[in-house]
Chain A
Amino acid sequence: MMQSPQRFDTVLIANRGEIALRVVRACREMGLKTVVVCSETDRDAAYAASADQSICIGPSTASKSYLNQNAILLAARLSGAGAVHPGYGFLSENTRFSAAVEDAGMTFIGPDASAIATMGDKIAAKRAMVAAGVPCVPGPDTELPVEPEAIRAIATEIGYPVIVKAAGGGGGRGMRVVLDEAGLLESVALTREEARKAFGTPALYMEKFLQHPRHIEIQVLCDTHGNAVWLGHRDCSMQRRHQKVVEEAPAPGISLELIGPVGAACVKACRQIGYRGVGTFEFLYEDGAFYFIEMNTRLQVEHPVTEETSGVDIVRQQLRVAQGETLSMGQGDVTCTGHAIECRINAEDPATFMPSAGVITTLELPEGEGVRVDTHVEAGYKVSPYYDSLIAKLIVHGRDRADAMQRTRVALASFRLEGIATNLPLLRELFEDAAFAEGETDIHYLEKWLKTRGAA
């Protein structure tokens, strides 16, 4: 039975950077007090001071600060917080942390531990999706056996090429493509050993390997009273080494008639597993068909593109759901308009992709109709080498994709950030690419494009 949520008036944000600031803003708009935990590196950052209270919980190393569950729980107790928002990354999909927060009598702003565990185990997740009618990649929803003959039989039935994945993996880690039977058993053995070391479980599963898919996502929002909606879809195919670079909503060339039944199946799956809060169903899309790959049980970096098209403030909805409120909208109330694009501005060399640390000497953010920048940095901010290189998100909303692309080009051109290297030059160049402008490029497109310009 789902635990009944408690009202709270203070939210501790167990994260840093732009998402910490984003949550602070949403809380303030709702009249909630905020506590931001920070490491020694972030102690003097302006974004930390924007919260009602900031508490330094440890040294710069993430394992001793943002991943230190005990330190975060102590800070929550110290500040009298009634809820913990995990943001994305760090502890946002950590079963033990979700359970520990609730055991300490606070509300975890996200799904409960069992839902995170179900979706964290890719075999269990696939089984749950099959039960709800969500389309999955061909392959059994059971753990791969150890007997060589049985492994060969499964691969033959699926048809080569296949992909062997770690049940505890995700985000592009713990997987290996097998082109034919000759390399099958060795690939399984290697992946099994990697899975054992990296994820603590040697469990594997096997699926059909799709060769030219796009990465499509469906955003869901669920309350604790059995209500759930999906807020449209996103295309996150523009990736480098499984890291998204540009995201957009809606996915170009995919009609509502085609994706509507998939969205409805995602909502059904949420109801069946008693999911609460926001979540994202990730699919591969090829030849007009969707294949579920995983569910992210947290807020996504790219949530703003859905906010811009749906008009729904996803973080505020998260907070409302966590307070036990009923969703204020039904599926019929969700209407997506126009087209939104998000560019991740990273502190990295645009040619080598090496992280760039240092002081931002100049910062001029683009402005204008439909232009939004989510960032925690300012002129004088010192970019640390300790954390993810994401320093800002440029989000642009237009009346259609062509309009959004053009507005993004203008916004990128006026975005001035000096003192450190960023990927802004790469983004400016990418938005001049004809195939990207046309749309519907697959997940391998960016890497191929980078190779042709000699920068991969």
Chain B
Amino acid sequence: MTRLDLSDPAIIERLTAVLEAAGVEGIEITRPDQSLLIRLSGSANGSASQVRSSRADNRGEPVVVKAPMAGEFWPSDLSRTGAPGASAASDAVGFLRVGPILLPVAAGSSKRLRRHLVDQGTIVGFGDPIAEVEPEV
């Protein structure tokens, strides 16, 4: 059986639509390699989903976080943008916004935001580097 790619925007959108139709507020899927959390806020801002991918850490090395889909980039915490060593709020280095959908981009577990690589409001594509993170000491 083919394994779903939980970072695929189409999968996230489909799951979101199913949750909305079913009147469910959210879902969390956890696998050894990926986890997905979708929460439907019911507000005008629509739904929010969060994808975490757990992979082997290169300890001490900064890691570039890439956009999992195209979207308008919003840093997770504007006051910390560009501040080396600042913690990434809620493991998210920022958000990708497309219309009513806001997709948090995860830094990964035990990661600190080193710097953002794109400005707020920049349209980024799939695979574009958006932030650098480093392991929390």
Contact = CB atoms under 8 A, between A and B. Distances in A.
Interface of A: 38, 40, 43, 53-59, 64-65, 68-71, 74-75, 77-79
A136 B10 CA distance: 41
Interface in B84-100: 98-99
Contact of B123 (A38, A53, A64, A71): A53
Contact of B70 (A59, A64, A71): A71
Contact of A56 (B8, B72, B98, B127): B127
Given A43-B125, A70-B9, A75-B70, 12 more contacts: A40-B126, A40-B127, A55-B70, A55-B123, A56-B128, A58-B69, A58-B126, A71-B69, A71-B126, A74-B70, A74-B99, A78-B70
Contacts of A78: 70-72, 98-99, 123
Given A40-B127, A43-B127, A71 B98 contact: no
Contacts of B125: 38, 43, 54-57
A56 B9 contact: no
A77 B126 contact: no
B28 interface: no
B20 interface: no
B103 to A, nearest CB: 10
A65 B8 CA distance: 11
Nearest to A40: B127
Nearest to A56: B125
A111 B127 CA distance: 33
Contacts of A54: 125
Interface of B: 8-10, 13, 69-72, 98-99, 123, 125-128
A418 to B, nearest CB: 31
A80 B89 CA distance: 30
A61 to B, nearest CB: 11
Contacts, number: 51
A64 B69 CA distance: 11
A78 B9 CA distance: 14
Given A78-B70, A78-B71, A71 B127 contact: no
Contact of B69 (A40, A53, A74, A77): A74
8 residue pairs, one from A and one from B, having the closest CB atoms: A56-B125, A70-B10, A56-B126, A55-B125, A74-B98, A55-B70, A58-B126, A77-B99
Dominant secondary structure at the A interface: mixed
Contacts of A55: 70, 123, 125
Contacts of B9: 70-71, 74
Contacts of B10: 68-71
Contacts of A65: 126
A38 B125 CA distance: 9
A56 B70 contact: yes
A425 B9 CA distance: 44
A64 B127 CA distance: 13
A109 B69 CA distance: 25
Nearest to B101: A74
A68 B126 CA distance: 13
Contacts of B71: 74, 78
A71 B9 CA distance: 7
Contacts of A79: 123
Nearest to A70: B10
Contacts of A56: 70, 125-128
B46 to A, nearest CB: 13
Contacts of B126: 40, 56-59, 65, 71
Nearest to B128: A56
Nearest to A59: B126
A79 B8 CA distance: 20
Nearest to B100: A77
Contacts of A68: 10
A376 B88 CA distance: 42
Contacts of B69: 57-58, 71, 74
A43 B125 CA distance: 9
A59 B7 CA distance: 12
27 contacts: A38-B125, A40-B126, A40-B127, A53-B123, A54-B125, A55-B70, A55-B123, A55-B125, A56-B70, A56-B125, A56-B126, A57-B126, A59-B126, A59-B127, A70-B10, A71-B9, A71-B69, A74-B9, A74-B71, A74-B98, A75-B70, A77-B98, A78-B70, A78-B71, A78-B98, A78-B99, A78-B123
A294 to B, nearest CB: 30
Contacts of A69: 10
Contacts of B8: 64
Contact of A57 (B13, B70, B72, B99): B70
Contacts of B123: 53, 55, 78-79
